[in-house]
Amino acid sequence: MNTYQHFMALIGSVIIVASCKDTAGERKDVNAVADQQSVVDTIPTRSNTSPTGMGDTIVHRYINLNTGEPVDLYYDPKARKTYSVNTNEPIEFYIDMNTGDTVYGQGRFIVNNFISKSDAGTFKLNADKIKMDKDEIKIKEGNKKLKIDNSTMKLKDGDLKMKTDTVSGKIKTGDLKKKMEGDRSKTKG
């Protein structure tokens, strides 16, 4: 991710977190929509799928949610999937032990409170709250809506509307409008 995308993700997260606070200023128990996209990526990326030798000491930072076992991971950006280093099998859900977040391995979206456990004991995305296609994720929680695809993110939450892509962004609230393009921005309010 380039610096601008990190900046836009950070701005979007701050706005979303601020809009998800209750009247006492405390964060609600349900996760904020901002938790849906991780800003810092900690999984190594590898374009091929053949395992390579790792060092003698491995610190397990991830837990496979379905097995409960520690797992070493790598991400294949072409397949958009996370794999186990040892088995080379895709990992659907895992827990990042550094943050405590549950992550969907396909696309690496944080899906806290958006998964459910089936009677068979496997985990799946909660279809009432989240929908995923190949390059797109849609999340609805109450009156909040978030849509992320290849390079565009859209958010609606009451009076707040936000749209960003890799080069520009727009934020609109009840009395404020801000447009950003490249290194320029324009504010009305």
DSSP string, the chain: --HHHHHHHHHHHHHHHHHTB-TTSPBPSSPPGGGGB-SS--SPB-SS-S-----S-----EEETTT--EE-EEEETTTTEEEETTT--B-SEEEETTTTEEEETTTTEE-TTSEEE-TTS-EEE-TTTEEE-SS-EEEEETTEEEEE-SS-EEEEETTEEEEE-SSEEEEE-SS-EEEEETTEEEEE-
C-alpha–C-alpha distance, residues 75 and 85, integer Å: 10
Q: What is the pLDDT of residue 50?
A: 41
Closest to 164 in 3D by CA, of 40, 17, 9: 9
**What pLDDT, on a 0 to 100 scale, did the predictor assign at position 118?**
86
Cβ atoms < 10 Å from Cβ of 108: 21
Whether the CB-CB separation of 73 and 62 falls below 8 Å is answered with yes
pTM > 0.85: yes or no: no
* Residues 85 and 54 sit within 8 Å (Cβ to Cβ): yes
Q: Which of 51, 39, 42, 46 is nearest to 4 (CA)?
A: 39
Quote the pLDDT of residue 34: 38
Residue 35: its pLDDT value, please? 41
Close Cβ partners of 11 (under 8 Å, ≥ 6 residues apart): 169, 171
Beta-bridged to residue 169, according to DSSP, are 164, 180
pLDDT per residue rounded down to tens, the chain (189 residues): 444 455 555 555 545 544 444 444 333 333 333 344 433 455 655 544 444 444 444 455 899 999 999 999 998 888 888 999 999 999 999 999 988 999 888 878 788 888 888 888 888 888 888 887 777 888 888 888 888 887 788 989 888 999 988 788 999 998 899 999 888 889 987
Domains of the chain, residue spans: 1-34+131-189
